[in-house]
Amino acid sequence: MTLIQEIDYGTPASKVEKMVTLTVDGTEVTVPEGTSIMRAAMELGTQIPKLCATDMVESFGSCRLCLVEVEGRNGTPASCTTPVADGMVVKTQTDRLKRLRKGVMELYISEHPLDCLTCSANGDCELQDMAGAVGLREVRYGYEGERHPNPGIDASNPYFTYEPSKCIVCSRCVRACEEVQGTFALTIAGRGFKSVVSPSMEQPFIDSECVSCGACVQACPTATLNEKSIIDIGTPEHSVVTTCAYCGVGCTFKAEMRGDELVRMLPYKDGKANRGHSCVKGRFAYGYANHKDRILNPMIREKITDPWREVSWEEAIQHTASEFKRIQAKYGKGSIGGITSSRCTNEETFLVQKLIRAGFGNNNVDTCARVCHSPTGYGLKTTFGTSAGTQDFDSVEQSDVILIIGANPTDGHPVFASRMKKRLREGAKLIIVDPRRIDLVRSPHVQADYHLPLKPGTNVAVVTALAHVIVTEGLVDEKFVRERCDWDEFQEWAAFVADPRHSPEAVEKISGVPAELIRGAARLYATGGNSAIYYGLGVTEHSQGSTTVIAIANLAMATGNIGREGVGVNPLRGQNNVQGSCDMGSFPHELPGYRHLSETATLEMFESFWGRPLDDEPGLRIPNMIDAALDGSFKGIYIQGEDILQSDPNTQHMSAGLAAMECVVVQDLFLIETANYAHVFLPGSTFLEKNGTFTNAERRIQMVRKVMAPKNGYEDWEITQMISNALGCPMNYNHPSEIMDEIAALTPKFAGVSYEKLDELGSVQWPCNEQAPEGTPVMHVDGFVRGKGKFVITEYVATDEKTGPRFPLLLTTGRILTQYNVGAQTRRTANVVWHEEDRLEIHPFDAEQRGVRDGDWVKLTSRTGETSLRALITERVAPGVVYTTFHHPSTQVNVVTTEFSDWATNCPEYKVTAVQVMPSNGPSEWQEEYEELSKAARRVAEPLVAAE
Ligand code: SF4
Ligand code: SF4
Ligand code: SF4
Ligand code: FES
C-alpha cells in the first residue's frame, strides 16, 4: 500500500480547444492554447521549481522561483504566468536560472524558522522540497535578520491550526478561499515582513467568515495551515480513494492512513463530482467512527422497557429470524417489513430489498428517500421517463442562468455550491425561489438577479406563473417542443397556464411574490441562454411536491432547456445514496431499476434469478406500516441505517406505531432515537469499514473502499446476508462486487457496471450499458427516455395546513452546513462548536409582537405537538414565516410537523406547518423527560462499548 500522490501541474488546465506545440528542454510537447509553460513542462514530467503556484488556483507570479528562459525573449519570465506559444523554445535548467532560484530560496529560508525536525510538515513541506530541488546548500544572509511576526498559533478552529511565523506569503490560501471555495474569508494584511494572512478582520479563524472547507489548508505549501490530526498523529503512509458518506454531492477523498488509523481525508482532484474540493463534513467530521457512543456488540431485549443484553452475533441473528418467523406464522406474511437506508451502499440496499421480497415474501420495503425525494422520482419519470437528474455537475460551467428552487446549496450541497458560485462570478445570472434569504441571495461577489420570497406551500402557483409569462409573452422554444414533446399535450398545457388565474398578478395574491419579480425571472430563465434548474427538498416535501417537480420539468421543456450541457433539471439529493437507494428497488411497488411489479416478464426474471416466488402486490410504505402497526396487523420491522423516529413527521404517531410492534430490529452505529423502541440492536459499520458503491445526485456510481476492518466485525451487507440465511433464504456473496454483478445482470440501466469498470474509469453515470458503455453524463440528448416529453397540467391546490388565529405563523425546516440530518454522526464530532442546538429563526416583527428577544427560549406549538428551543431573530425569514433545523433529538422538531403528505408519493409535508410561537422558560416537560430517557438508554449501553 502506498500514499497516493497526485501530480500538481502548477496551474489549472486550459479549456481552449486549439492546440499549440512548443519545445521544452529539447522535447516537443503539444498542449491547449492558454496553458502555462509550467504546466506544459509538467506534461513532459519536468517539474519546474515553484512555491506560489498550484493547479487548484490561477497563477499569481509572486515567488519568482519558477523562472525559465525562452528563446528570442529577454529576461527570465515566470513559467507559471507565461502562456505557451506555437514554436516556443523553453529552457528550464541553465546556470543563470539555477543561480537566480538559489537566490530566491536563500531569501525565503533566511527568514523561516528552522525547526524542520519537529515541524508537523516535516517530509510533506514544499519549502523543504524546493530547497532541495534548487540545491540550496548555504544561506548568505544568515538566519538572524528580520522575520515575520510571530503572534503565536491560532488553534481556534477545531480541525486546523494557523502558525503565522511559518508563512511564506504565497497567497495560495487566499486564492483557494476565493477561487475554489468562494468564501473570500482570507486576505493578506500588512506589508513586507509584517504581512500576514488575515481571516476576516484579523480575527481568529473560529470567529471569521471561514466555513472550514479546508481548501486553504490543502493549498498551503508549508505547515502554516495544518490539520490538527497531522500534528497529533504524524504524516500518513498509505491512502485509499473512497467516497464521502454525507451528502448527495458525492465527493471523492483520499483516506490517508497510518497503519489502521485514519490521519486525514484529503479531497481527490480526480473526483468527478468535487474536482479536489471538500466541505467541513467530508473533510473533517469523521470522528464519529471512533466515538465512544458507538455500539460494537449485538444486543437484544424482550421488552423495550428492559435493559439491553449483550449477545453473540449468532444469537442476535437467530433471535431476529425466529421472531420474524413467529410473527409471520401468527399474523400472516405481510405482518413484517423493512426499511433500506440512503446512508448505506447500493449493494447493501439491494440486499435488504431482496431479503424482504425473497425472504419475507412480501413487498413491504420502503426507504428514507420516501421522506425526501420520492416526488422527484414520480415527477421526472412522468415527464421525462426517468427518475433522476439530467446533468452532471460539470454542466453548471456552461450555464448562463441558474434557477434555484427550494434548495440552499451553500449549506446542503456545499461543494457543488462552490462550483456554482464560480460560474456566477464568471457572469451567470441567478434566480432564487425560496421563502428564506439564503446565503446565495447575497454573498461575496454573488448576488441573485431575482429572489422570489414565496409563502411556503405556494411553489406550484409560482412555477406555473413563470410558465404563464413564458407562454403568453411568446418565449416558448416551439421548435424544441414540436420536435421533442407531445404537441397536443403541450397545447393543452399552454392553454392552461395562459389562463389569467395563473398570471403573476393573480399569483402575487397567493404567494406574496411581487408580480414584476415573477415576470422578470421568467423572462430571464427563458431568454438568458443556457438555463439550468436546481432544486431541493423545498420543492419535494410538500403536499404538492410531485406537482412542483412536474411544473419544473414543464418549464424546462417549454424553453428547450433540456438535453445538452448547461441546462436541465437537477434535484440536489440529500443523503449520500438517496439516488442509489431509489435505483435499487427500495419502494414497495417497484423492483430495482424502477420497474413496476406489474411488469410480469421482469418479475419472472427476478423470480428465476433468485429461485423464489415473488409477490406481485405492492407492499406498504413507511406511513402505512405505522398505521398498520397501530391497527395490529404489522408487527415486525428491520430498519437498516435510518432513524425514522427523528426524521419522519408526527413523532408521536411514529413512536406509538413502533411501540405497538413485537420485534423492531435496528441496525445502526449508535443507539439512535428509534432504538428506544427496538428489541434487537445490530451494530452497523461505517463507510470507512466497508466496500461498495454510492450513487450521487448526478447518477454517478462511485466506489466506497474499505480503509479499516469493521469495528463491529461485519460489513452491513454481511449482516443482512446472515439474517437472510437464518430465515432460510440463501445468500452466499463473498464480496459486494458479486452483488453489483447481480444488480447489473438484473437491471438494464446498470448492465455495464462492474467493479473493474469503476476501478478503471473512477466512476460512471447510469445508464451504463451496451449503448453507453462509459455511462451517460447528460440525459435526454437525442430524445426523452419515455419517447416524447410529456407536459402535464399542474393545478395549484392549497395545502390543508392553514394558518389561523391559533397558529398564525408558517414553519419551514432545513439544515445547516456543519450538521447532517438527524445529526447522529455530526453531533458526535467537533462540528458541534458551530451548532450545538437547533434555533428558531423568527423575523424581528414577529418576535417583537411576542415579546421575544434574541436567545430567549420559545415554545413552538402546532396542532400535533409542541417543543421548545431558543429564538434567533433574523431578517433571513419574512414576517409570518419561522424556520428551524432538525439536527438535535433534544428539540425533535418533527413533533410539530403534521401527517399531510405529497398526494402522489406520501412524501411528508415538512416544509409547511402552521404554528404559534410564544415565550417559554426553557425546555418542555417532555423534552426533559426525553433527555432523561435517552441518558438512561445510553447508560445501559455504556458498559458494552469498547471505548477508544
Ligand atoms: S477553510 Fe475554507 S473557508 Fe476557511 S479560510 Fe480556508 S478556504 Fe476559506
Ligand atoms: S498560510 Fe500558507 S498558503 Fe497562506 S500565504 Fe502563508 S504559506 Fe502561503
Ligand atoms: S459536499 Fe457533501 S459529499 Fe462533499 S464533502 Fe461535503 S458532505 Fe461530503
Ligand atoms: S511559482 Fe511561479 S512565481 Fe511562484
pLDDT digits (tens, 9 = 90+) for 137-178: 777 776 676 667 777 899 999 999 999 989 999 999 999 999
Confidence of residue 922 (pLDDT cuts 50, 70, 90): confident
Query: Smallest Cα–Cα separation from 287: which of 815, 669, 838?
Result: 669
How many Å apart are CA 356 and CA 333, to the nearest integer? Answer: 11
Cell numbers linked to 219? 493549498
The region of weakest confidence among 106-120, 429-443, 473-487 is 106-120
- Ligand 1 site residues (CB inside 6 A) read 176-177, 181, 183, 185-186, 210-216
Q: Cα–Cα distances in Å, from 302 out to 306, 678, 681, 805, 821? A: 7, 10, 12, 47, 30
Alpha-carbon dihedral of residues 172, 173, 174, 178, nearest 10 degrees?
100
For residue 360, what is the DSSP state?
A: I
Residue 726 has pLDDT above 50, yes or no: yes
Residue 539 has pLDDT above 50, yes or no: yes
Q: Are 546 and 379 in contact, with CB atoms under 8 Å apart?
A: yes
Confidence of residue 196 (pLDDT cuts 50, 70, 90): confident
pTM of the model: 0.93
| Nearest ligand 1 atom to alpha carbon 199 | 5
How many Å apart are CA 589 and CA 49, to the nearest integer? Answer: 61
Residue 483 has pLDDT above 50, yes or no: yes
Q: Is the peptide bond before 12 cis (omega within 30 degrees of 0)?
A: no
pLDDT value of residue 937: 55
Give the distance between the most distant pair of CA atoms in the chain: 92
471 or 123: which leads in pLDDT = 471
Residue 940 has pLDDT above 60, yes or no: no
Q: What is the chain's mean pLDDT, rounded?
A: 92
Nearest CA to ligand 1 atom 2: 213
| Nearest ligand 3 atom to alpha carbon 250 | 3
pLDDT, average across residues 400-416:
96
How many Å apart are CA 236 and CA 259, to the nearest integer? Answer: 8
Q: Are 723 and 638 in contact, with CB atoms under 8 Å apart?
A: yes
Q: Cα angle vertex 910, ends 812, 630, to 5°?
A: 145
Task: Pick the ligand that lies closest to the CA of residue 11.
Answer: 4
How many Å apart are CA 182 and CA 486, to the nearest integer? Answer: 42
Q: Cα angle vertex 15, ends 14, 17, to 5°?
A: 110
Find the helix packing angle between 459-472 and 515-527, rounded to 10°. 60
DSSP secondary structure of 238-299: EEEEEE-SSBTT--EEEEEEETTEEEEEEE-TT-TTTTT---HHHHH--GGGG-TT---S-E
Q: Cα–Cα distances in Å, from 441 out to 151, 435, 692, 911? A: 37, 11, 38, 20
Distance (Å) from CA 249 to ligand 3 centroid: 6
pLDDT value of residue 890: 77
CB 61 near ligand 4, within 6 Å: yes
| Nearest ligand 4 atom to alpha carbon 60 | 3
Q: Are 523 and 475 in contact, with CB atoms under 8 Å apart?
A: yes
Q: Are 298 and 315 in contact, with CB atoms under 8 Å apart?
A: yes
Strand ranges across the sheet with 89-91: 27-32, 19-24, 89-91, 69-70
Top mutation candidate among 37, 50, 134 for ligand 4, by most atoms within 8 Å of CB: 50
Task: Pick the ligand that lies closest to the CA of residue 697.
Answer: 3
How many Å apart are CA 396 and CA 322, to the nearest integer? Answer: 52
Sign of the dihedral through C-alpha 153, 154, 156, 162: negative
pLDDT, average across residues 617-638:
96
Top mutation candidate among 9, 39, 51 for ligand 4, by most atoms within 8 Å of CB: 51
Give the number of other Cβ atoms within 10 Å of residue 34's Cβ.
16
Phi, psi of 704 (to 5 degrees): -110, 125
pLDDT, average across residues 664-693:
96
pLDDT 10s digits, 632-649? 999 999 999 988 888 777
Residue 352 has pLDDT above 90, yes or no: yes
pLDDT, average across residues 359-372:
88
Q: In 3-state terms, what secondary structure has residue 621?
A: coil
Residue 943 has pLDDT above 80, yes or no: no
| Nearest ligand 3 atom to alpha carbon 246 | 7
Distance (Å) from CA 105 to ligand 4 centroid: 12
How many Å apart are CA 716 and CA 689, to the nearest integer? Answer: 9
Cell numbers linked to 804? 389561523
Residue 230 has pLDDT above 50, yes or no: yes
95 or 144: which leads in pLDDT = 95
Give the number of other Cβ atoms within 10 Å of residue 3's Cβ.
14
Residue 55 has pLDDT above 50, yes or no: yes
Instruction: Give the type of residue at 440.
Output: L
pLDDT 10s digits, 854-907? 999 999 999 888 899 999 999 999 999 999 988 877 777 778 888 788 888 888
Q: Cα angle vertex 812, ends 535, 453, to 5°?
A: 60
Residue 945 has pLDDT above 80, yes or no: no
Residue 747 has pLDDT above 90, yes or no: yes
Q: In 3-state terms, what secondary structure has residue 700?
A: strand
Nearest CA to ligand 2 atom 3: 220
Confidence of residue 936 (pLDDT cuts 50, 70, 90): low
Cell numbers linked to 468? 404563464
Q: What percent of the chain has pLDDT over 90?
A: 76
Nearest CA to ligand 3 atom 8: 282
pLDDT, average across residues 407-425:
96
